[in-house]
Structures are given as structure tokens and as C-alpha cells.
Amino acid sequence: MRTPFIVGNWKMNLDSAGAVALAKGVAEKSAGNSKARVGVCPPFPYLAGVKSALSGSSVQLGSQNIYFEAKGAFTGEVSAAMALDVGCQFTLIGHSERRLILGETDAVINKKVNTALAAGLHVILCIGETLEQRQQNNTEAVVESQLQGSLAGITLDPSKITLAYEPVWAIGTGVVATPEQAEAVHHFIRQWLTRTYSQDVSQATCIQYGGSVNPGNAKTLLSQPNVDGLLVGGASLKADDFAAIVAAA
């Protein structure tokens, strides 16, 4: 019942020609896969060009972030309406790089989720623990508090919000979570959704895994009962690798 959702997070990589070429490659190579939803998140300056490159394909366009204010004197920020205006259907919010490098708190992330939903963007909300937090056995507590803080006051509609569990220690490190480690946290998140919302909401919510996903590990991760999709960084920068990951779904 949960359609796999595979998303490429291009982060701060590529140039305009490279972004367009990659988008065309993704559109071509993932065409014909009717079993998965596929999306890409280019850097802001390349969104419009990638949108054109994706025209006629079912690959969805997402932004990597948005700001929580609607408009005005916020130098360097991009609003949800602007992301929509250049063709985004969804946005990432609360990626660990934004939490840890740019200091985003759950309170800020909560405002961004509200703003994005109000504007009509689908939200992929990222959560996940650091290595230190895992070693101190705090994974579940951290994930729960991020969910509580980021989703405070929000009625979760599974058609509008996807969750992405991304353990920080697995991002960009080549150290992927084992399928068992991923499944354990995804199961915990599913239970939290049931407790906080309802069985229906919980069962319908797509929970992606992210962190060193590659063509070699995608299938085993996706075969876990509560892993419904993947958020892919490094391996999404090569159309062939990303297509192989989509094919695993």
C-alpha cells in the first residue's frame, strides 16, 4: 500500500550543465518504472533548468530547504512559494546537515514544515541520531524528540508528509546502517506514528532510509517491512547508480 519513494539529494554539487544532464539521465533511465515514485533535489539555482529537463517525465522536483517566512527582508533565503513557482512538488526539511552545520532547531523545522504544507509542498522531514547519541543508547529518544518537536501541532496527512530516517553517522561515510538497524528504527517510528496519530496514519506514512545508500545495498534495505523508500546523496549524482537504486524498488 506504500509506494516506494526514491529521492536523490544532490546537495551542493554539480553545475548548471551537469544538473540538466543528470536530470535528463534520471528521467530516461527511470522511465518505465511504474512501481516507484522518483524525485530529485537540485541546488536552488538549477531548479528551473532541471524542471525543463524533466518535462514529460514523472520524476518529481524537490527543493533541499525552504524558509518559514512568506516574503520580505530575509537575505539569502528562498520561500515555499518560490520553490513552487519554479516547479517543485516537494521539499526536504530538517536534513541533518542543516540541523548540525546551519544550526536548525526542531522549533525552526516545525515552522518550516507548517509553511511548506500551507503552501502546498509535500514535505520530506529528516530525522536521525549522531554516532555519539547511538553509542549512548539514545537513538530512540533522539528520534522521538525530533519527531515531537518537528511535527508539534501538525496533523500528519501521509499524502503530504514523508519521513526520512537518516542516521548522521551513515551520511556520506560509506557506513550504511545494516538492514536490521534501519528496520529497528523504522519500526520504532511506525509505532510512534500509531501512538501519536492513528493506525491508519501510521500504516500509510512512507518512511525513507538515508545514509550511504548505493546500488549494492538498496535492495536489502528496501526489503525490510518498514523501509518504504530511500533518500540518496552521493549515489544520486550518477544517473546509472541512481537508476539501479530505483530499479531495486
User: What positions carry a catalytic annotation?
Assistant: 95, 166
Contacts 24+ apart (CB under 8 A), 18-23: 19/43, 19/46, 19/49, 19/50, 19/53, 20/46, 20/49, 20/50, 20/52, 20/53, 22/237, 22/239, 23/49, 23/50, 23/53, 23/54, 23/59
120 vs 172, beta carbon nearer ligand PGA: 172
CB 70, min distance to ligand PGA, A: 27
94 vs 121, beta carbon nearer ligand PGA: 94
Which stretch of DSSP H or E encloses residue 61? strand 60-63
The answer to whether residue 166 forms part of the interface with ligand PGA (CB under 6 A) is yes
| 189, burial (CB in 10 Å: exposed 0-12, middle 13-18, buried 19+) | buried
3 vs 173, beta carbon nearer ligand PGA: 173
Q: For the segment 9-28, give every residue that binds ligand PGA (CB under 6 A).
A: 9
Q: For the segment 210-239, give every residue that binds ligand PGA (CB under 6 A).
A: 210-213, 231-235
Give residue number: closest CB to ligand PGA.
Answer: 233
Binding mask 39-58 for ligand PGA (x = CB under 6 A): --------------------
128 vs 197, beta carbon nearer ligand PGA: 128
CB 203, min distance to ligand PGA, A: 25
Question: How far from 175 is each of 56, 96, 97, 188, 236, CA to CA, in Å?
Answer: 36, 16, 17, 21, 17
171 vs 197, beta carbon nearer ligand PGA: 171
Nearest residue to 218 via CA among 246, 192, 238: 246
Sign of CA dihedral 117, 200, 59, 186: positive
**CB atoms closer than 10 angstroms to residue 132:** 10
Grid cell at residue 10? 544532490
Binding mask 75-94 for ligand PGA (x = CB under 6 A): --------------------
Q: Looking at 20, 23, 124, 171, which residue binds ligand PGA (CB under 6 A)?
A: 171
Kindly state the number of chain residues that form the binding site for ligand PGA, as judged by CB under 6 A: 13
Instruction: By CB under 6 A, name the binding residues for ligand PGA.
Output: 9, 166, 171-172, 210-213, 231-235
